[in-house]
Amino acid sequence: MLTPEDYLNGQVILIDKPLKWSSFQAVNKLKYALINKLKLPKKFKIGHAGTLDPLATGLLIVCTGKFTKSISEIQGQAKEYTGTFHVGATTPSYDLETEIDQTFATEHITEELIHETVKQFIGEIDQKPPVFSAIKKDGKRLYEHARAGEEVEIASRKTTIHEFEITRIALPEIDFRVVCSKGTYIRSLAYDFGLALHSGGHLTALRRTKIGAYDVQNAMDVTLFEDSIVPNAPSN
């Protein structure tokens, strides 16, 4: 059983983030559970090592106390994701946050073409972040420009795909497993993969399964974590 001092000194907490929760919401839930149950000071250090979109589930690493100094190091480690691409259609956000804006032919897409196309994405690649992302340009986040209907030029950046495996093909759905470097946008990979298939694509499901040696199999649901905290016994 962890004490208030344990959390103040530093802990790494593995959370399995639920669908539709922001990473900020998940950290806040933990923060106030610890404050209310263990009477930790309101300004104690807590933060996460790598954002997950609300439409993604899976591993969210939360650090407290002195371990918050390890956040940058953890963020820099390779990440593993599983999920589903939907081919034959695109959305402005490259996922289900926005409605389909274009549809494309899929009759020419074969299993052989899919597996051949994967090879184009192994190693270092150029990738443009989605316009619906939190990257800042001209003092505003890209999604703010997008929602205001403003067109912005987005520069591509280098990222590395260490492993890219197709785990199920049931067109228009393609399931995958990817191991990639920091800064990789799986939504952009979905869009670019659809383009490389001479069609379109967007992301319909995403789950982060690993960050470095940390595995979602060892993670806990936010609510279960909250329930597991044993409140401080009242002092005599």
Residues belonging to the active site: 53
Helix, strand, coil share (%) of the chain residues, nearest 5 = 30, 30, 40
State the Cα–Cα distance between residues 78 and 90, nearest whole angstrom: 27
Torsion of CA 171, 186, 104, 109, to 10 degrees: -40
Q: How far apart are CA 114 and CA 22, in angstroms?
A: 32
User: How many residues appear in the chain?
Assistant: 236
Q: What is the C-alpha to C-alpha distance for residues 92 and 149, in angstroms, rounded to an integer? A: 11
| Pairing verdict, β 220-221 and 157-170 | unpaired
Taking residue 218's Cβ as centre, other Cβ atoms within 10 Å add up to 10
Backbone CA torsion sign across 118, 85, 177, 56? positive
Residue indicated by tokens 């990222």: 159
With tokens 């591509």, the residue in question is 156
Task: For residue 200, count other CB atoms closer than 10 A to its CB.
Answer: 24
Give the ranges where 62-217 is alpha helix by DSSP (H): 71-75, 111-118, 142-147, 186-196
